[in-house]
A and B are shown apart, each in its own frame.
Chain A
Amino acid sequence: GDSVTQMEGPVTLSEEAFLTINCTYTATGYPSLFWYVQYPGEGLQLLLKATKADDKGSNKGFEATYRKETTSFHLEKGSVQVSDSAVYFCALSDRTFGNEKLTFGTGTRLTIIP
C-alpha cells in the first residue's frame, strides 16, 4: 500500500536558519503530494501541494518539488521565523475516484528559537 516516510523530529533551529524536512513516499499509482502544518492547539492547514513530477509547490516562503525519480517531496525554507514553529506533515493522495484518502507521514515537530 501507499506510505510516507518523514524525517524524524524534533527539529530545533535558530531564527533565519535554513530548513529542510525530508519526505519520501511509496505509491502504487501517480499520487498528488502535500505538506500540511499544524500549529499548537490548532487543526491541519494545507501549506502547499504538487500534482505532477517536477512541479514545485510554494507558500509563505516554503517550497517543495515533486521528484518522481527519487520519490521525494522535501520541504525547504530559506530563513525560518519563530512563527514557523509547528508540526509539519507530508502526505499523499492516490486521487483516483474512491481512493482520494490522504496517507500521512508521522509528522516533524519544528521549534525555532530566537
Chain B
Amino acid sequence: DSGVTQTPKHLITATGQRVTLRCSPRSGDLSVYWYQQSLDQGLQFLIQYYNGEERAKGNILERFSAQQFPDLHSELNLSSLELGDSALYFCASSVGGGGPQETQYFGPGTRLLVL
C-alpha cells in the first residue's frame, strides 16, 4: 500500500458527460501528479500541483482541469467526455520541492470507461 488513495476505482459513463476523480496524497506529501495510461499513448503526465498551486502542465486537454484543496487532496475533472478518454488515470504524490530524493508514489488508479 503506497498510502495514496483514489476514488472511485471504476467509472462508467457516456460521451459528453463530466466526471470527477479524487486523490488523497500520502501524509506529508505536498505534490500531487495526475497521469493517464492508455493503450495508444502509454503513461503520460497530465498536471502537477504543489501545495495548492499548479506547478507543471503536461499533455492535458482543455476539457480536463484539476485542483488541489487546502487539505492537499486533489480532483481531476474531465468534461465533454469522448470515447478516446477511456483510460486508467493515476494519481501520484511526493514530498515536492525537487531534489534527488524526490520519489513519486502511485495510487491504485481510476479506470474510466466512456461508452
Contacts and interface: CB of A to CB of B under 8 A. Distances in A.
A1 to B, nearest CB: 11
Interface string B92-115: 101011111111111111000000
Given A99-B56, A100-B31, A102-B45, A43 B109 contact: yes
Interface in A50-107: 51-52, 89, 93, 95-104, 106-107
Contacts of A107: 42-43
Interface in A35-56: 36, 42-46, 49, 51-52
13 contacts: A43-B107, A43-B109, A45-B106, A46-B104, A95-B98, A96-B98, A98-B98, A100-B56, A100-B102, A100-B104, A101-B56, A102-B92, A106-B42
Nearest to B46: A101
B45 A103 contact: yes
A34 B106 CA distance: 13
Contact of A104 (B43, B101, B109): B43
Contacts of A106: 42
Interface in A14-46: 32, 34, 36, 42-46
Interface residues of B, number: 29
A95 B99 contact: yes
Chain A residues touching B, majority SS: strand
Given A34-B103, A46-B103, A104-B43, 6 more contacts: A32-B103, A93-B102, A95-B102, A96-B98, A102-B92, A103-B45
Interface of A: 32, 34, 36, 42-46, 49, 51-52, 89, 93, 95-104, 106-107
A97 B97 contact: yes
A51 B100 contact: yes
Contacts of B98: 95-100
Contacts of A42: 108
Given A51-B100, A107-B43, A101 B58 contact: yes
B83 to A, nearest CB: 22
